[in-house]
Structure 1
Amino acid sequence: MMKGRLKRTIAKLEEQGLTYALISTPENVMYLTGFKAIGQPPKPCHLLISAKEPKAKLLVSPLDYEEAMESVGSELEVVKLKTKSVADALSKILPRGRGVLGVELGYVNHLFLEELKSKLKDVELKDFSSQVEELRAVKDSEEVEAIKKAVQVAEEAIKKGLNLIVEEATEREIAAEIEYEARKAGAEGVAFDTIVASGPYSAYPHRTAGERKVRKGEAVVLDEGVRVKGYCSDITRTVVLGKIPEKLEEAYVAVLEAQEEASRALKPGVKASTVDAKARTWLKRKKLARWFIHGVGHGVGLSVHEKPALAPKSHDRLMRGNVVTLEPGIYLDKLGGVRVEDMYLVVKEGAMKLTTLEPRLVL
């Protein structure tokens, strides 16, 4: 599979008239090599691809050399960096003579770019930021299986987490237990810091779990994602302890209906913005759209947020093999928020829901 991915990347490289491409984004390096560059912090490595040479070169630090040698296939050459300067290494690897090097300008920093310009004076630099991400948007069967496992693990952890939502439990305690249960169930780690947001803070879409204690009659939003074989899941559930405020219940029902409307639009060839519009139109009908303040969803893979973007101004189109979330949410000032997020695989005739955990509002 890696060989096919490299071939498709070389085709992208040739389309742009590039001689080489330097891949630096950890997710892209892993996608093309199998070497687990993703981490906290990510491993310092780069992949040099040539339009003319048969083998791509994976440039790694001495600390990661043995692991890289065990991880990659014969179509790659692993190069141990003898200097911290990638530009120095490239100046020795690249043959003399003018060429065009594609660089992920959306990822590398200014100092890195200036050093490349200084050390590779006879090489023209061009942007190569989005090409591998476009390839990553369409998942193969191996990737889908990893994502399914990540979904399963996250669901098991969320089920355990729901049982921990009792009066006086803190958001941070619940988040910690969810992450612990995810690790026990097979997660390599979390895809992002687990969100547990209660009461008025449930109206903050990216609230960090704090010391606030859960109270009856308030919404609690759980947003959990884990990694399995590098691939992410992303699932959200909202629950209320005891009696539900009427406005929250109305918002919750509308969110579920909006998600259903959007899911019917998930088909190959459909504009991603159209999927968002389906959910947004439904919420307008319910007079709740003003409190829907983000896109309806996003792609998921080696990154928890990747192409396609399901948002009003997105230019993406859905393709067979996309894995996406649908996460409509309503955020009411002072009262709280509700959000439900599920994952879907775009297939030939529509979409297959990957999440199986049924949403329930009342605990």
Structure 2
Amino acid sequence: MSIRTDRLRQFLAGIACDAVLVSKKENVRYYSGFSGSNAQLLITPDQAWLLTDFRYVEQATQQAPDFSILRYSGSPYPVMTETLASAYPGKKLTIAFEGDFVVHDTFEALKTALPESAWQSCSLESLRMQKDAEELRLIHQAMEISQQAFAQILPLIKPGARECDIALELEFAMRRRGAEGKAFDFIVASGARGALPHGVASEKELCEGELVTLDFGAVYKGYHSDMTRTLCLGTASEKQLEIYNLVLKAQEVGCAAIQPGITGKDVDAAARQVIISGGYGEQFGHGLGHGLGLMIHEEPRLSPVGDRILTIGTPVTVEPGIYLPGWGGVRIEDTVVVSADGCINLTAGTGKELLEIR
């Protein structure tokens, strides 16, 4: 079994459970290697099963060699019940389940199928925070794809171009470089739409003199990248430069604050104070950043409530912004990895000084 599964078993021992049912697809992939859309894992201190249906038995056999494959038709619960009864006859088990993912009806079905078992809610998200070398390699490759694609489509960002066309060309450029998909719905927000922190690309045409914010990322072998750049179509005004440089300073302060042992909220506070001191604290209403990996948003959170401690090998985004209704906004985002002496910037290949497109 892998180091990841060993850590999961240590976690089980710590919460005094006999088994864990892993249902969230990202966690299924993390612990087993199986990337299909339908599977659950059942892991005990000495057994590991992967439950799936006919469509994925061959794939599961190839991708999850350390797991015993249990095939089911219809519901997985009869097979699960029979397997546990055979492996642990007469024993009343305490089974952990992902309470932050399993819906109420599914939980009721589990209790009905295994009435003699006790169930304990848990979250497995924090176990994925610290990435191993292979995970970091995949995230780095996803980030390289994103940066190369961004450089390619820059000539398309000009007055008259539609936000949605820029987003589409960016996705095409990523896929041509090996991305299996986009990490999320790309944000391309120009002019007054830049005041929308999640202003996904619309049919609006870009205009001379506007700021344009692009937030985008690729998925490479399951792992996500995330970055944001804000550009100016033409020569920036005094106010545009003021807002941009304030966000840039906050972003740089946030990156500089990252180190092993610091909490997410302390990093957030360092960057947020820059924007507060500049008079725009009320216009920075979201957290500074988040972890990423098999999901685009993972633990830890860099936010006023982010109390998790950063550890070496943890990737996080640093993305302060200022958003002014009716005027527009600025956000600048890098993805960095916590290192022994601070952090390593995976987005260093793309500059952060304001690019004025003339």
TM-score by length of structure 1 reads 0.94
1:93: which partner in 2? 83
* Aligned with 1:309 (options 298, 301, 310): 301
Indicate conservation of the 8 Å contact 2:322/2:330, yes or no.
yes
Amino acid at match of 2:351: E
- Distance between the aligned counterparts of 1:88 and 1:237, measured in 2? 51
Distance in 1 between the 2:238 and 2:94 partners?
62
Per-residue CA deviations over 1:225-269 (Å, capped at 9, x if unaligned) read: 111111110010111101323222211101111011111111000
Aligned partners of 1:105, 1:76: CA distance in 2, in Å?
23
Whether the 8 Å contact between 1:21 and 1:128 is mirrored in structure 2 is no
Residues in 1 aligned to 2:53 and 2:187: alpha-carbon distance in whole angstroms? 34
1:351 counterpart = 2:350: no
Asked whether the 8 Å contact 2:70–2:79 carries over to 1, the reply is no
The residue aligned with 1:127 is: 121
Conserved 8 A contact 1:98-1:123: yes
* Per-residue deviation, residues 69-101 of structure 1 (Å, max 9, x unmatched): 11123x2112222x2212222112112431101
Q: State whether residues 216 and 243 of structure 1, in contact with CA within 8 Å, keep that contact through their aligned partners in structure 2.
A: no
Preserved CA contact (<8 Å) 1:240 1:362 = yes
Q: Which of 272, 283, 288 is residue 275 of structure 2 equivalent to?
A: 283
- State the distance in 2 between where 1:323 and 1:147 align: 9
> What displacement does 1:160 show?
2.1
Whether 2:159 is the aligned partner of 1:157: answer no
Summarize deviations over 1:129-168 as a string: whole Å, max 9, x none.
2xx3212100111111101000000111111232211111
Identical-pair percentage: 38
From 94, 99, 104, give the equivalent of 1:105: 99
| Matching residue of 1:40 | none
Show structure 2 runs of 5+ residues with no match: none
How many angstroms apart in 2 are the aligned matches of 1:67 and 1:216?
52
1:28 CA displacement: 0.8
Q: Deviations over 1:161-208 (max 9, x none)?
A: 322111111111000000000000110111111111111111111112
Match of 1:78 among 63, 69, 79: 69
Q: In 2, distance between residues paired with 1:102 and 1:335?
A: 50
User: Could you tell me whether the CA contact under 8 Å between 1:20 and 1:50 is conserved in 2?
Assistant: yes
Which range moved further: 320-329 or 93-102?
93-102
AA in 1 matched with 2:34: F
Structure 1 unpaired stretches of 5+? 38-42
Q: Does 1:340 align with 2:339?
A: no
Q: CA contact under 8 A between 1:266 and 1:275: conserved in structure 2? A: yes
Rounded to whole Å, the distance in 2 between the matches of 1:222 and 1:27 is: 26
- Which residues of 2 match residues 40-55 of structure 1 at below 5 A? 43-51=37-45, 53=46, 55=47
Distance in 2 (alpha carbons) for counterparts of 1:344 and 1:234: 10
1:84 partner amino acid: G
- Asked whether the equivalents of residues 191 and 226 of structure 1 are also in contact (C-alpha less than 8 Å), the reply is yes
What SS class does the counterpart of residue 152 from structure 1 fall into?
helix
Which residue matches 2:202? 210
TM-score (norm 2): 0.95
SS in 1 for 2:341: coil
